[in-house]
């Protein structure tokens, strides 16, 4: 096993340590089970020599009792080696899934910009199952069958050392073959896991966008795309199956060749009277019993290498640095004074800067709108305030301190976000309003009342306890937006970010939602990102962005009077 794979496996076995007591009970079961194989070979000698050579009358009752006792021990060992490692394996899967999910929750937003959600889900579900096989099932087979082979070889050495040593000559050749098999299994396992990520990704995209797929008649295109990824997955699996299918017969033929030579020599000794019938039969039985554990040891290489490859992909996630915890400056409830000082920003992996020397300040309770063409850097500006990204130059200030000075959880506790893409979870309306914020039913209902959520929930049999469906699919766009506003009202933060909050709504619904937004913005520092300029006319100040720079600033009336870019954008929308 290569050094990096061995290091990965050692780290993986570290998850077994908290459950080593239960696992050792399983090892005891493996030992008992392995001992019964050697015991069976010894039983053959005991039965044949005692019955046909010595003609001992006690064999009449000793043999049945010995046989039942042997299988009772075998059954006990089988139960312990199955249940105990299985228990440990599920504990390891639970622990790994918990750690991966926790890391997903604390990774920076930039990580998810570079990763496919399908691949991340595949690591959480499919790869962890592969790891369970490597840590428990594979190690169970390895320990049990290694002990079985050691026990049988020890018994063979006791019966006839010369013939046993001759049979071991093929061992080094088998070891070389198994090493090569392990390398191939690990290579193909990585390809299978990557292809499973693609399968999950393509399926997830099609399932999450049924309307888009149908309105564009893209069913055939999506089916073709899915067929490509599942065909790649099938080919990867077949390469693994080919290697697995070929390896076992090759090892078996080599082992059988050695066995044939030993069988020939043993037969010669038996004919010459150098071995009793019991010794001869017992020796042959023990030799034949070795082939089963040897075959399983060869086959275990596949799941073991699959588990190691899966573990490497999991540890890649776990080793990714989480979001910075932030500074140590305490903050209770912020006043809401925000300032951008010569802010510059470039997205990771991108050469061209997105923001160039942005500078402006927002007084506590003031509403500042940021407008401009698509790609001008509007959303990037507000993403820097809650530290979804960190500036590459300059600083973002909250209440006179750099946002990096505050603990990141306390910083974000000062802010609420209402965006165009309202994210609702497959839970009740009540739970979605209270999301991440402990609140009483009275507080939730008051927020729902203020956001006019009760207007439509009162028409529902379950009221606020109605389940909204996946991503709020059972609600209209306006209903989802009102729930998002109620969520922000409940948090009652001093800073509010509205990112295209009404752009997906029609004009009439936008007017209704704007009323709730106006109430929400009262006495809060508000940053508004808007495409529709009609929604920002009441803002205290408007910043006009172009090419990552603030090119104009002023009130709605002042900017129209300047007859600059804002006036051009306004006339274009008005004419539309």
8 A C-beta contact, residue 70 and residue 40:
yes
Q: Which residue in this structure is represented by tokens 């149908």?
A: 214
Task: Identify the pLDDT of residue 504.
Answer: 54
- Give the pairing of strands 367-372 and 525-529: parallel
The token duo for 371 is: 């407008």
Strand partners, 263: none
CA gap 383, 381 in Å, rounded: 6
8-318: CATH, from 3.40.50.2000, 3.30.920.30, 1.20.1560.10, 2.40.30.170: 1.20.1560.10
User: Dihedrals φ, ψ of 172, to 5°?
Assistant: -60, -40
Top pLDDT among 363 and 418 is at 363
Residue 2 has pLDDT above 70, yes or no: no
The token duo for 149 is: 């082979």
- Give the pairing of strands 541-546 and 549-554: antiparallel
8 A C-beta contact, residue 524 and residue 494:
yes
Q: Which residue in this structure is represented by tokens 């490497």?
A: 312
The arrangement of strands across the sheet holding 367-372 comes to: 415-419, 495-499, 525-529, 367-372, 541-546, 549-554
Average pLDDT, the chain: 82
Residue 285 has pLDDT above 90, yes or no: no
Residue 186 has pLDDT above 70, yes or no: no
User: Dihedrals φ, ψ of 111, to 5°?
Assistant: -60, -45
> What is the per-residue DSSP string for 405-450?
GSBHHHHHTTEEEEESS----SSBHHHHHTTTS---HHHHHHHHHH
Task: Identify the pLDDT of residue 46.
Answer: 76
Task: Identify the pLDDT of residue 406.
Answer: 94
Query: What architecture does CATH give domain 338-575?
Result: 3-Layer(aba) Sandwich (3.40)
Question: Helix and strand tally (H, E) in the chain?
Answer: 22, 10
Task: Identify the pLDDT of residue 235.
Answer: 84
CA gap 189, 191 in Å, rounded: 5
Rounded mean pLDDT of 532-539?
A: 79
8 A C-beta contact, residue 494 and residue 414:
yes
Q: Where are the domains of the chain?
A: 8-318, 338-575
Residue 182 has pLDDT above 80, yes or no: no
């Amino acid at each position: 096993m290569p050094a990096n794979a061995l290091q990965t496996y050692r780290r993986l076995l570290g998850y077994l340590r908290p459950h080593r007591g239960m696992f050792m009970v399983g090892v005891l079961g493996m030992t008992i089970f392995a001992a019964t194989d050697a015991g069976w070979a010894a039983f053959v000698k005991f039965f044949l020599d005692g019955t046909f050579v010595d003609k001992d009358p006690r064999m009449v009752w000793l043999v049945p009792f010995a046989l039942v006792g042997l299988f009772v021990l075998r059954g006990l060992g089988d139960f312990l080696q199955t249940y105990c490692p299985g228990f440990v394996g599920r504990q390891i899967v639970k622990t790994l899934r918990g750690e991966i999910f926790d890391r997903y929750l604390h990774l920076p937003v930039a990580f998810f910009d570079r990763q496919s959600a399908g691949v991340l889900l595949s690591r959480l579900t499919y790869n962890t199952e592969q790891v369970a096989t490597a840590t428990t099932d594979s190690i169970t087979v390895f320990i049990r069958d290694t002990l079985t082979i050691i026990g049988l070889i020890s018994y063979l050495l006791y019966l006839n050392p010369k013939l046993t040593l001759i049979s071991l000559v093929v061992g080094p050749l088998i070891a070389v073959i198994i090493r090569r098999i392990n390398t191939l299994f690990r290579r193909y396992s990585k390809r299978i896991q990557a292809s499973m990520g693609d399968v999950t990704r393509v399926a997830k995209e099609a399932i999450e966008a049924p309307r888009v797929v149908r309105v564009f008649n893209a069913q055939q295109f999506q089916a073709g795309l899915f067929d490509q990824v599942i065909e790649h997955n099938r080919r990867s699996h077949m390469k693994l199956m080919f290697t697995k299918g070929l390896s076992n017969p090759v090892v078996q033929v080599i082992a059988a060749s050695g066995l044939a030579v030993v069988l020939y020599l043993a037969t010669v000794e038996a004919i010459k009277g150098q071995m009793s019938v019991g010794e001869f039969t017992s020796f042959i039985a023990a030799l034949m019993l070795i082939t089963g554990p040897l075959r399983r040891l060869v086959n275990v290489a596949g799941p073991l290498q699959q588990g190691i490859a899966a573990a490497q992909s999991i540890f890649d996630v776990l080793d990714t640095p989480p979001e910075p915890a932030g500074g140590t400056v305490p903050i209770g409830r912020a006043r809401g004074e925000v300032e951008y000082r010569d802010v510059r920003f470039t997205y990771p992996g991108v050469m061209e800067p997105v923001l160039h020397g942005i500078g402006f300040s927002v007084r506590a309770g003031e509403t500042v709108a940021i407008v401009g063409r698509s790609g001008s850097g509007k959303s990037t500006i507000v993403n820097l305030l809650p530290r979804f990204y960190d500036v590459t130059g300059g600083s973002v200030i909250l209440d006179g301190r750099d946002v990096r000075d505050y603990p990141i959880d306390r910083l974000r506790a000062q802010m609420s976000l209402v965006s165009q893409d309202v994210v609702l979870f497959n839970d009740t309306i009540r739970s979605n309003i209270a999301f991440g914020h402990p609140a009483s039913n009275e507080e939730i209902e008051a927020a729902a009342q203020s956001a006019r959520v009760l207007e439509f929930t009162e028409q529902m049999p379950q009221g606020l306890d109605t389940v909204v469906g996946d991503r709020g699919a059972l609600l209209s766009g306006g209903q989802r937006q009102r729930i998002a506003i109620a969520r922000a009202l409940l948090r009652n933060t001093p800073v509010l970010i509205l990112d295209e909050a009404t752009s997906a709504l029609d004009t009439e619904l936008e007017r209704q939602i704007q009323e709730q937004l106006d109430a929400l913005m009262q006495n809060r520092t508000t940053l508004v990102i808007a495409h529709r300029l009609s929604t920002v006319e009441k803002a205290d100040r408007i910043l006009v962005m172009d090419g990552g720079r603030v090119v104009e600033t002023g009130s709605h009336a002042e900017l129209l009077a300047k007859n600059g870019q804002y006036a051009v954008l306004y006339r274009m929308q008005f004419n539309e």
